[in-house]
A and B are shown apart, each in its own frame.
Chain A
Amino acid sequence: MNSELVEVLLVEDNSTDAELTIRELKKHHMANKLVHLKNGEEAIDFIFATGKYAGTRDVENSPKVILLDIQMPKVNGIEVLQKIKADQRTRGIPVVMLTSSKEDPDIQKCYDLGANSYIVKPVNFEGFAEAIKNLGFCLINPPPDL
């Protein structure tokens, strides 16, 4: 995992939600290089190569897309988003927020902070494709035509 390309970083505390999300992405061959972290603190350490990932990670080796759950204990998605967008090195990474309802009042806050889009859980592939479509980037393994 150390110097491997990470394509998708999934930050989700709920293991049921995580399992469903990964399963969905796997179904469409997008989970080859997927990393799942369970809280914001770890996510920050991972992205910025600090804390327990100091030395084993490289900041430049950033994920192609970050799926970030909003509601998490200790350090929540919004704080992680803030950190990501505040740092020059990581600002360009597309971030898709995961929320449980489209009326979540935090969604606006996320946009204000620079999130690229959001998906309402459960993540289905159409929603995911839609969310990343507008970001104009292609994965190293482009998704097979559906």
Chain B
Amino acid sequence: MILFKDMPIRKKLMRIIFLISGVVLLVTCITFFFYELYAFRKTTTEKLSTIGKIIAANSTAALAFANQDDAKEILAAVKTEPHIVAAGLYDSEGKLFSHYNSDSTIDVFPTKPGKQGYYFVQSHLEGFQPVMLETRQLGTLYLKSDLGAMYERLRLYGIIAGLVAVLSFLLAFLLSNFLQKIISKPILSLAETAKAISNKKDYSVRAVKTGNDELGFLTDAFNNMLSQIEDQNATLQEFNQNLEQKVKNRTTQLELANKELETFSYSISHDLRAPLRGIIGFAAMLEEDYSSKLDPEAKRITSVIKNNTLKMGRLIDDLLAFSRMSRQDIKKTKISTTAMANEVIQDLLPENKNGHVKWIVHEMPDIKGDINAMRQVWINLVSNAIKYSATKQQPEIEIGYRDGEEETTFFVKDNGVGFDEKYKDKLFKVFQRLHSAEEFEGTGVGLAIVEKIISKHGGRVWAEAEENKGACFYFSLPGQ
């Protein structure tokens, strides 16, 4: 059952009109009913009274001469009025002298006359009328009437009232149905317009004003708001376009800068390599052409010259790689982590010159990341693990993951030389190393690259280690 407040306006109006019509009709009918009742009682009483007076007047002779036959005849005259059920004459002593009743029930008569006048008693009207001869009371007339006529009349009244009520309700229904439109149609039209506007998001439409009443005011206010929305939308659009243009310009600038940087770093590295080639080549030339003239110390010196030059070459390569990695955008696709890790291990195996490594590779979940970049991460971490556990008798490298609420953490664990945890903040910085170049070759860029890549993916890198026991490198990727 819908609450009244949620009913459509049309239904609300009609119900209200109905209710009012109904109440008005009811009040009217009841008022008239009671009036009718009152009026009818009055007329009935008057009628009986009049009949009583007439019969009383006619009965003086019968009573004066105690003529019962005459009295009976006169009393019988009330037959003409079918509603009079009993008539009686009492003599001057109050004894019933003569009577008439329409149906035979004698104890209907009171034993002696009562007060003068007519009264409603139960379902009858009865009363006493003194029979007077000039100033002397000869006796009393008793008349009793049933109320059939009244009931008849009232029943008729009820039927008519009923019919009128039905007709009125019908009329009220039709009229209200028709006239409620005057109120509800403009409202519905406004509601429709509002709905259409909000559905199609077309704020250029305006509602039609149908009058200067409150609804008209509402329509004006509504149209005003629409204009404001339109204006604001236009302003927003403009801002948006401006912003987009700015972003486009900025992006173009950035792309250009990136490109320039790329070319710049490439040509720098190219120019840096050329002299290095010369140094190495000529040092080798010296060794080859003058080997007979060079003593072991001299040979060692040329060897140092060559090694340092080679190292410089590697530095240049690593720097270039690092710089390129920093500038590249990552493109995320689905990566099978376990497969990638195993591939990397396979690729690095030939370089693993120092004996057999025991590999423990757990099944790991797929991730979303940049294929090349993540591959580089695995290459760097795994080759580090190989390198730093090469000094151990039985190198063991474990690769696995831990599931977290918001991120998945992968780790590469080795049982190699580890590092002093005191310095672990330096681990992931460019060119920072925690071991000397004699112990382990390397330029110190590998972990910095890993850190750059992982942070581009929104994750973190960290490590734990114990000197000579081993190290474990972690990286986490969020939202996998």
Binding site for B on A (CB under 8 A): 14, 16-17, 19-20, 23, 71, 100-101, 103-105, 121-122
Contacts and interface: CB of A to CB of B under 8 A. Distances in A.
B270 A17 contact: no
A23 B273 CA distance: 19
B281 A100 contact: no
B282 interface: yes
A17 B274 contact: yes
Interface on chain A toward B: helix, strand, loop, or mixed SS? loop
A71 B277 contact: no
A14 B274 contact: yes
Contacts of B269: 101
Interface in B251-279: 266, 269-270, 273-275, 277-278
A17 B271 CA distance: 13
Contact of A100 (B277, B280, B282, B285): B277
Contacts of B275: 16
Contacts, number: 36
A16 B282 contact: yes
A130 B275 CA distance: 25
A31 to B, nearest CB: 15
B266 to A, nearest CB: 7
A23 B278 CA distance: 13
A17 B277 contact: yes
Given A23-B285, A101-B269, A105-B266, A122 B274 contact: no
Q: Say which size band chain B's interface belongs to.
A: 10 to 19
B270 A16 contact: no
Contact of B278 (A16, A71, A104, A105): A16
Nearest to B324: A103
Given A71-B270, A101-B317, A121-B277, 16 more contacts: A16-B275, A16-B278, A17-B274, A17-B277, A17-B281, A20-B277, A20-B278, A20-B282, A100-B270, A100-B273, A100-B274, A100-B277, A101-B269, A103-B320, A105-B266, A122-B277
Nearest to B317: A101
B312 to A, nearest CB: 14
Contacts of A14: 274, 278
B369 to A, nearest CB: 23
Contacts of B280: 122
Contacts of A101: 269-270, 273, 317
A20 B281 CA distance: 6
Contacts of A100: 270, 273-274, 277
14 contacts: A14-B278, A16-B274, A16-B275, A16-B278, A16-B281, A16-B282, A17-B277, A17-B278, A20-B278, A23-B285, A101-B273, A101-B317, A105-B266, A122-B281
Interface in B269-301: 269-270, 273-275, 277-278, 280-282, 285
A101 B277 CA distance: 11
Contacts of B278: 14, 16-17, 20
A89 B340 CA distance: 50
Nearest to A71: B270
Most buried by A among B278, B282, B317: B278
Contacts of A17: 274, 277-278, 281
B436 to A, nearest CB: 28
Nearest to B269: A101
Contact of A16 (B277, B317, B320): B277
Contacts of B320: 103
Contacts of B281: 16-17, 19-20, 122
Contacts of B285: 20, 23
Contacts of A16: 274-275, 277-278, 281-282
Contacts of B266: 104-105
Nearest to A24: B281
Interface string B299-336: 00000000000000000010010000000000000000
Nearest to B289: A23
Nearest to B274: A14
Most buried by A among B273, B274, B280, B285: B274
Most buried by A among B275, B277, B282: B277
Nearest to A70: B270
Nearest to B321: A103
Nearest to A23: B285
A14 B317 CA distance: 21
